[in-house]
Structures are given as C-alpha cells and as structure tokens.
Amino acid sequence: MKRVEILDAKTKDKLCFLDKVEPNATIGEIKSMFHKSHPQWYPARQSIRLDPKGKSLKDEDVLQHLPVGTTATFYFRDLGAQISWVTVFLTEYTGPLVIYLMFYFRVPFIYASKYDFTTSKHWVVHLACMCHSFHYVKRLLETLFVHRFSHGTMPLRNIFKNCTYYWGFAAWMAYYINHPLYTPPIYGEQQIRLALIIFLFCQIGNFSIHIALRNLRPPGSKTRKIPYPTKNPFTWIFLLVSCPNYTYELGSWLGFTLMTQCLPVAFFTLVGFVQMTVWAKGKHRSYLKEFRDYPPLRSPILPFIL
C-alpha cells in the first residue's frame, strides 16, 4: 500500500493526502480520488506531475512504475475549465454549415431587401454551396463516427477562439460568393470543372486518411503507431508525407478557391495552410522522436518541400 500527497505546483500547499492507495492504481484513479476531496477540480482539468515544472503524467501511468517512494508526492496544476473535443468540433463545424446556407438563401438584412430569398443566377454559386455544405457535413460525421481522440478535453476558451475563426471566415466567404454582384470565374466552365475535380479528389483523399488513421487505433485505446499506405491508392501519399490529411485539406480549399475565384476564400486557405503546417511539423517531430524506424523520406505536409 502506498500513500499519496498532492501539492499545489505553484504555492506548494498540501492539497490532498491519500492514505492506503493500491500500488497498481493509475493516475486516472488518483485523479478521481482527488476530485472527491476537491469537487470543483474534475479529473479532466487536473494536471498531475512529478515535478512542479515537469510534464503532465498520463492517466494510464501506474503508481508503482513511477519513480516514487512509499509516499508519492505529486504536484497539481489546474488546467482551467475544460470542454470535450467532440463538443468543440461539432459546434465549430455546424456554424459554417448553417451560416453559409443563410447567405446562400439570401436571408433578410444581409443584402439589399430586393434580393431577399432570391437565388443566384450563376450555376457555380449553387455548386459552391453544395461543396461547402458537403465538406462540413463530412466533418461533422467524421467527428461523430470516425475520429478517435487522444485527449478527451481542451480548455474552454478554445471554443470561443475556434468558433470565431470558423464562423467568421464562413460568413466572410459566403457573403461574397452569394452576393448579387458576384463575378463568376474568368475561365468559366473549364476552371470550374478542374476545381471540382481537385476538390472531390481531395475530399475522398482526406476521408481515406481519416479512415486509415482510425484503423491504426483499436476502439478506446490511445496507442500511437506509424501510419503506412494501405490498399487504398489515396493513402499511398503516406510514402511521402506524415500528415496527408492536412495535405488533402489544403488541396480541397485550393479547389474551392479556384471554383469561386474569391479572395476571402484564398485568404482562408492561406491561414489554414499556415496553421496546418505548424501542426504537421509538430506531429512529424513527435513521430521522429517516438519511433526510431520512422521512414526518412517523409515530409510533414508537402512532399519534399515542407
């Protein structure tokens, strides 16, 4: 039997003392016990570490495998109010879906009142609406049925930041695409057709990658493995890229930019690309750190370039 004391990482105050803890108890179980004595700190917002400035311990870590004596001393940091990833994703993706449709149907008070509830005379505008809506419906369904999340929660303030980003950009794009004075692409049907092919190709690609990543991980687990190409040709890009889901996502938005020939869309694509590159580089670095035999030919997001 071990004893566990939990101190505040900043003030070093004794917050909790647990007598008689099983040596094979996990950090997750210790968090639940801590939660009982401090109900305002539910387990998701607890960061437990061995060192006040060290890394957080994982929920799966077992007490007796940690470098502690008979009395284990842990440091606690409050991560702040947490919200589940699923909730955030569903909220941030439903917004653009609904908002774009509001602009598409020219709901009152957006454009001049003589245009209320009219539809655009350009068929590319209808196509764009279908593509945009398809994209976000796909994202919502993936969130519900495909993705397996490593972390359950993220800080609450993220939902405001993320929703502002997605909803704001969706409104900005939709305003111009569905505007009565919208100008269709210069090269007309050729441009739109090419754009649609790129868009659909990348949507299928992105979905294939999500499925492949899902299949790496058995349900309920948090294991990490190197992703490899499967029988699906869309996954062969794994030979050259660590995060092809981002590559395909970039491709989809490039397609959409070409289709709509709208500067705000181009801007959104650019900002998204910058953010995804940051994420891809981080993921690539952690793959390299974790796996000795990581394929050397791979780049984070763009084959051979980035």
Partner 1 sequence: MASSEEDGTVEEKENNNKKRTKSALVTAWLTFYNIAMTAGWLVLAITMMRFYIQRGTHKGLYRSIARTLKFFQTFALVEVRLTFVGIVKTSVIVNGVQVCSRIFMVWFVTNSIRQIQNEESVILFLVVWTVMEISRYSYYTFSLLHHLPYFIKWARYNFFIVLYPLGVAGELLTIYAALPFVRRSGMYSMRLPNKYNVSFDYYYCLIIVMLSYIPLFPQLYLHMLRQRRRVLHGEVIVEKDE
For partner 1, the binding residues (CB under 8 A) are 176-177, 179, 181-183, 186, 260-264
CB nearer to partner 1: give 181 or 297: 181
Q: Count CA atoms within 13 Å of residue 252 on its CB side.
A: 23
* Vertex 151: Cα angle to 148 and 156 (nearest 5): 120
Q: How far is the CB of 262 from partner 1 (least distance, A)?
A: 4
**Which residues are CB-neighbours of 47 under 8 A, at least 6 positions away?**
9, 56, 76, 77, 78, 79
Residues 6+ positions from 126 with CB-CB distance below 8 Å? 119, 120
What is the DSSP pairing of strand 2-8 with strand 71-78? parallel
Minimum distance from residue 8 beta carbon to partner 1 (Å): 24
- Shortest Cβ distance from residue 169 to partner 1 (Å)? 13
CB of 179 to partner 1, least distance (A): 6
| HSE of 81, CA atoms in CB hemisphere, 13 A | 5
- Beta carbon nearer to partner 1, 138 or 281: 281
CB 50 within 8 Å of CB 57: yes
Q: Which is nearer to partner 1, 187 or 228 (CB)?
A: 187
Q: In this structure, what are the phi and psi dihedrals at residue 304, rounded to the nearest 5 degrees?
A: 65, -15
Work out how close the CB of 256 gets to partner 1 at its nearest, in angstroms, rounded to a whole number.
13
The residue among 176 and 236 lying less far from partner 1, judged by its C-beta, is: 176
**187 vs 294, which CB is nearer to partner 1?**
187
